[in-house]
Amino acid sequence: MSKEDKIVIGQIGIGYWGPNLLRNFNSNKKCEIKKVVDLSSESISKIKDNYKSVHFSQDLDSIYDDDEINAVGIATPVHTHYELSIRALNSRKHIFVEKPMAQNESEMRDIIRISEEKNLLAMVGHTYLYNSAIRLIKKMIDNHEIGKLRYIYCERTNLGKIRSDVDALWNLAPHDISIIQYLLDDQEPTLVIKNGMSFIQKGIDDVSFMQIKYKNNIEAFIHASWLHPLKKRRIVIVGSERMIIFDDMAENKVSLYNKSVKINNNINPSGTSFDFDYLDNGIEYPTINWQEPLKVETNHFIDCILKGNPCLTDASHAMKVVKILSTKNS
């Protein structure tokens, strides 16, 4: 592939997650990393020797003013996403933004409007949707392998890392909201209720609970906390015929439980009692063709630009996640 056929990337941010993003972009032969910018000289010094051909600096304008760069990866704190994204789009550059894409619906509307006006791709880094295990679960639900979907319960907890720029819900729950939306074909919720508690820093919730209602009597529940004794990354999906557990901390990421409850027809004449059968036919561990999710995700970003294909986690999907996160209880 000639240099002219490649996507030329400038990346902003190489703090916590940025090095992973940079590594995966760099491994893609369809793109070239030209410049990386970070305000921390310490972050730059830790990584620059691994990328001899990349120019590192603290100058944001060097990316925006470079006409050779046609895509920007943004891996910075969420409060900076909007300004950095708008500048990139106005500089006619596609954007890949770590989750969540913005802080509110107003910011998201601007990102969507400008990207559409300039025919540019705006993609959010909801990495779990590129996880082979989550994609397998989506296929199982779509093929009705668990019967009628009843509810989804998510746990994302740990002791730390406590942050001061966002609360536990905004830090942790975007992953689960994105997964839930993906599994339910991005349908609009009918009701969102959330409750949070702050103990460490006033006004910043350390523990959050969210309930999301959808049509067809489907509900999802999220427990997000950085004040918890156990690190959990688990999703329970209950169907009328079978049940699934996704556990990102386990060796077997997906467990298919052949368990269900059947109501027998022999109800007494008064209708006040029922006869139940509890079915338990063991657990299956489906084979997963594993690939690094971030690699799949960054490859998808590059391919969508080159081929003009629809993007799985585009700005419209990002908007739905931000809208749910931003919902205020009535």
Task: Identify the band that residue 79 occupies on the pLDDT scale cut at 50, 70 and 90.
Answer: very high
Of residues 231, 230, 229, 209, the one with CA closest to residue 221: 209
pLDDT at residue 44 tops 70: yes
Question: Regarding beta strands 122-125 and 94-98, do their DSSP bridges make them parallel or antiparallel, or are they unpaired?
Answer: parallel
Identify the pLDDT of residue 10: 98
Residue-wise pLDDT tens digits, 82-133 = 999 999 999 999 999 999 999 999 999 999 999 999 999 999 999 999 999 9
* H-helix or E-strand spanning residue 196: strand 191-197
Judged by phi (left if over 0) then psi (alpha if -120 to 50, else beta), residue 183 lies in: alpha
| pTM, 2 dp | 0.94
- Determine the 3-state secondary structure of 122 from DSSP: strand
Identify the pLDDT of residue 187: 95
* Nearest-angstrom CA–CA distance, 225 and 176: 13
* Nearest-angstrom CA–CA distance, 110 and 125: 18
Q: Which two structure tokens, joined as six digits, stand for 69?
A: 């760069």
* Nearest-angstrom CA–CA distance, 234 and 245: 7
Task: Identify the band that residue 8 occupies on the pLDDT scale cut at 50, 70 and 90.
Answer: very high
Residue-wise pLDDT tens digits, 252-300 = 999 999 999 987 766 565 666 667 889 999 999 999 999 999 999 999 9
What does the mean pLDDT of the chain come to? Answer: 95
Edge-first strand order for the sheet with 55-57 is 55-57, 31-37, 7-12, 71-74, 94-98, 122-125
* Nearest-angstrom CA–CA distance, 291 and 234: 19
Identify the pLDDT of residue 275: 77
Q: Which residues contact 262 (CB under 8 A, 6 or more apart)?
A: 276, 277, 279
What does the pLDDT average to over 68-78? 97
Instruction: Write a three-state SS string for 254-298.
Output: EEEEEEEEEECCCCCCCCCCCCEEEEEEEEECCCCCCCCHHHHHH
Q: What domains appear along the chain, each with residue ranges and CATH number?
A: 3-125 (3.40.50.720), 129-284 (3.30.360.10)
